[in-house]
Each structure stands twice: as structure tokens, then as C-alpha cells.
Structure 1
């Protein structure tokens, strides 16, 4: 049985940790996007760790926002975030999306020194949700040709307002 998804976070000494738990879907994307903005406004930024060890499922919009996080990290501070997953099915998905090109991928990581807290929920209008979905999928399409082909119809439909 799938556990309703949630995203937890912790910050300690310039390291930002995001832990995805259960079935992570579009409904969590506004909170995730807001937290991404918070990470890059920090002055003592040192590392980002995304822990997917308790993730049962993740949708493409959430994956697109993770790719956005990595691309911003490379652009703003010049390094790849670390993505942790010990699940073979999840790793296959991540590799098929090209995440090995934009993350340091590891099977385990140290527990965060700060306690994890749930990201606060964020409400977005239907139009803003559509914009976030569109942005996330455009980012995924930019990672590799397979993604471009897989998400082309969705992006075209969202752009035309279908």
C-alpha cells in the first residue's frame, strides 16, 4: 500500500536535506518549489542532499523540480547535489531520466544532524500549478532525448491550454 507522500527538510551548518517519504506527487510541488527558493537565498550554503530511501513513488513533476534544484545548484554555486536512493526500481527510473548526469548518486548517507520537519503546505491557483508542471517537464526534456520524446505531448498540451 502506498503511503501518502510528504517531504521533510532539515538545515545544519550550510547543508540542506530534503527527505521524500511515501508517494510524492504534484500536490507537494508548491512546497518543494518554495523550499528550493529558500535554499538558494541562504548565505552559508554548502551542500544539498536529497534522500529518496523512503520514497515509494514519485511523479514526473516532482522529478522535474529535483532536476531544477540540481541545475540551480550547478549555476549558482558550482556543484552537484547528492541524491540518495537504495531502491533498484527508483534507481532505474532516476537513471532513465538522466539524473546520473545532474546528481551525485549514492546508496546511503549520514543522518542529518538537525531534526527533520515537514515542509509546510502551499496553495497555488490552477494556473500556477499548470505553470509549475510545465516548467518541471521542460527541465526534464532538457536532460536527454528520451525525456524530450516522453514529455513532448504533455508539454505541447499544457502550452496550448488543452
Structure 2
């Protein structure tokens, strides 16, 4: 199993997140911290998520991406752009309703060498559980299919 990573860059108010490999729960706190960093920036103008090298993403990662889109619309009235050239990832995004909350394009971005890896973050089990719960609640809010798919998981997390 390959490890995943998330890379990040900012230039002239455009924030770029690039997901590489298998992006899973273990990266959720670093991703969430970066989302907070993006929305605290004063020179914010665009967000691009590059999934051209993404092999897979778990539902927590998808939920945090949905959070990013919701915050972007609320704070600056902007739909972020997702770049995907992988048919499996494109189908996953469609099935989650991401075509409603992102501009999805299929051409790669310039300047991949401008990106730096997000630093790992050590978080308690309780903090990670809270992030997982938040991410899945956001996914449930996107459409009825997601609501059904994640209802039991959210109920179980709320009980712990």
C-alpha cells in the first residue's frame, strides 16, 4: 500500500493543494489546519485542488474537501477548482455530489515543483474522531445518497 501526502503552495492569492497517492484519515488534521490557514489569509483569491496523482481518498478527506468548498462560498463567494485526470477519482467526486460544489476540470496544473508537503501533525484520538465526525456530517449535507451512506458511521461516532 502506498502512502499518501498532501502538498501545498500559495502564489498571488491562489492556494493549491495537491493530493498524491492514497490520501487518508492520517492526513486529516494537517489538511484541516491548512484549510484554516487558507481562510485566514488576507490576499485570498482562488483555491485549486490537484488530484491528478491521487490514487484514492477516504470519506474523511472528501468531507474536509466539502468543508473547504462551503467555507469558500461563504467567505468569498468562490467555487474552488478540482483538477482530476483519473476516471476513478472523477466518478467518486460525481457520486459524492462534488460537481455541485466544485468546478471540476481535467487538465493538469503548471508548476508542480512549487509545492511543499504539509507537515505531519500529532493529534489525540479525540481530536481525530472530532475531525472525522465533522467531515462526515458535511458529506451527509451534500445529498440524500451521502446521508444514507454515512448515517450509521456518524451515529456510531456520536456515541463514542
TM-score (normalizing by structure 1) = 0.96
1:115, distance to aligned residue in structure 2 (A): 1.1
- Aligned partners of 1:112 and 1:75: how far apart in 2? 29
1:123, distance to aligned residue in structure 2 (A): 1.2
SS in 1 for 2:114: coil
- Aligned partners of 2:148 and 2:112: how far apart in 1? 41
Equivalent residues of 2:27, 2:120 under 8 A apart = yes
RMSD: 1.1
- Aligned partners of 2:36 and 2:28: how far apart in 1? 12
- Aligned partners of 1:109 and 1:15: how far apart in 2? 16
Equivalent residues of 2:6, 2:18 under 8 A apart = yes
Per-residue deviation, residues 100-121 of structure 1 (Å, max 9, x unmatched):
0000000014314871100011
Question: Paired residue for 1:24?
Answer: 23
- Aligned partners of 2:117 and 2:41: how far apart in 1? 19
Equivalent residues of 1:10, 1:17 under 8 A apart = yes
Aligned length, in residue pairs: 160
Per-residue deviation, residues 114-160 of structure 1 (Å, max 9, x unmatched):
71100011111101110000000000000000000000000000001
Question: Paired residue for 1:122?
Answer: 121
- Aligned partners of 2:20 and 2:2: how far apart in 1? 8
- The question of 1:140 aligning with 2:139 is answered yes
Name structure 2 gaps, 5 residues minimum. Answer: none
Equivalent residues of 1:12, 1:114 under 8 A apart = no
Q: Which runs of 4+ in 1 moved over 2 A?
A: none
- Aligned partners of 1:144 and 1:70: how far apart in 2? 15
Question: Paired residue for 2:70?
Answer: 71
Matches within 5 A, 1:105-116: 105-112=104-111, 115-116=114-115
- Aligned partners of 2:125 and 2:45: how far apart in 1? 35
- Aligned partners of 1:124 and 1:100: how far apart in 2? 32
Equivalent residues of 2:52, 2:108 under 8 A apart = no
